[in-house]
Chain A
Amino acid sequence: DQQVKQNSPSLSVQEGRISILNCDYTNSMFDYFLWYKKYPAEGPTFLISISSIKDKNEDGRFTVFLNKSAKHLSLHIVPSQPGDSAVYFCAASGSNYKLTFGKGTLLTVNP
């Protein structure tokens, strides 16, 4: 049973536009959510996180939104840059701190 789902395997956007990556979860015990970015031949890199007591967290060009009632979170990248092209993983954890990852979304930003 996949508890964290990223339903879009890939996304393509133009440089300068907004990228929106989506993530859904099923486990209501999850209370901490993270996004990681992964380039080929490298390990994932932590990008941004959000606690369930918040509905928005912003860090520069990256903003994560959390909708607890819908069990949905999204990552917005504005403006998108070619260097943002990577696989983005959504992850979630509960009280046991164990991370559950989605399968990832490949973002391609075209110049």
Chain B
Amino acid sequence: KAGVTQTPRYLIKTRGQQVTLSCSPISGHRSVSWYQQTPGQGLQFLFEYFSETQRNKGNFPGRFSGRQFSNSRSEMNVSTLELGDSALYLCASSLAGGRTYNEQFFGPGTRLTVL
């Protein structure tokens, strides 16, 4: 079974631009979560989508948004990029049932650098 895939793997943008990251979950997984990883803050939850609906949201500004498609693929968008948005963005998928939802499978991440 193929794992979680994320594209692109690396991205360089300049301040003020916007960016879209893509995530394809494991086949059959309906929940997709996004995280931001930085050296100082560790892994921080951005949001989670299930059946095309945002089910959970972290404490990030409205510049960070996402969506999920009917095939469970998800995209994350960051508008008006700031230097502090430079980070590794991780996508994770899981089955939707019960506590096993938290036993998520992560993709390799997209390394975003904002200049």
To the question of whether A and B form a pair in one complex, the answer is: yes
Residues of A within 8 Å of B105, CB to CB, are 46
Residues of A within 8 Å of B56, CB to CB, are 96-98
Contact of B104 among A96, A99, A100, A102 (CB under 8 A): A99
Closest to B101 in A: A97
Cα separation A43 to B94 with both chains bound (whole Å): 14
Residues of A within 8 Å of B33, CB to CB, are 99
In chain B, positions 34-56 with a C-beta closer than 8 Å to chain A are 35, 41-45, 48, 56
Chain A proximity mask over B56-71: 1 for CB below 8 Å, otherwise 0: 1010000000000000
Indicate if the CB atoms of B107 and A43 lie closer than 8 Å.
yes
Closest to A46 in B: B103
Counting chain A residues whose Cβ lies within 8 A of the other chain, the interface size class is 20 to 34
Cβ-Cβ contact count across A and B, 8 Å cutoff = 57
Asked if A59 is at the interface (CB within 8 A of a chain B CB), the reply is no
Chain B proximity mask over A25-52: 1 for CB below 8 Å, otherwise 0: 0000000101010000111111001010
Known: A43-B109, A97-B99, A103-B41. 16 other contacts (CB 8 A): A32-B99, A32-B102, A41-B108, A43-B4, A43-B92, A44-B106, A45-B106, A46-B103, A46-B105, A89-B42, A98-B45, A99-B102, A101-B42, A101-B43, A101-B44, A104-B43
Q: Taking beta carbons and an 8 Å cutoff, which residues of A are in contact with B? A: 32, 34, 36, 41-46, 49, 51, 89, 91, 93, 96-104
Q: Taking beta carbons and an 8 Å cutoff, which residues of B are in contact with A? A: 4, 33, 35, 41-45, 48, 56, 58, 90, 92, 99, 101-109
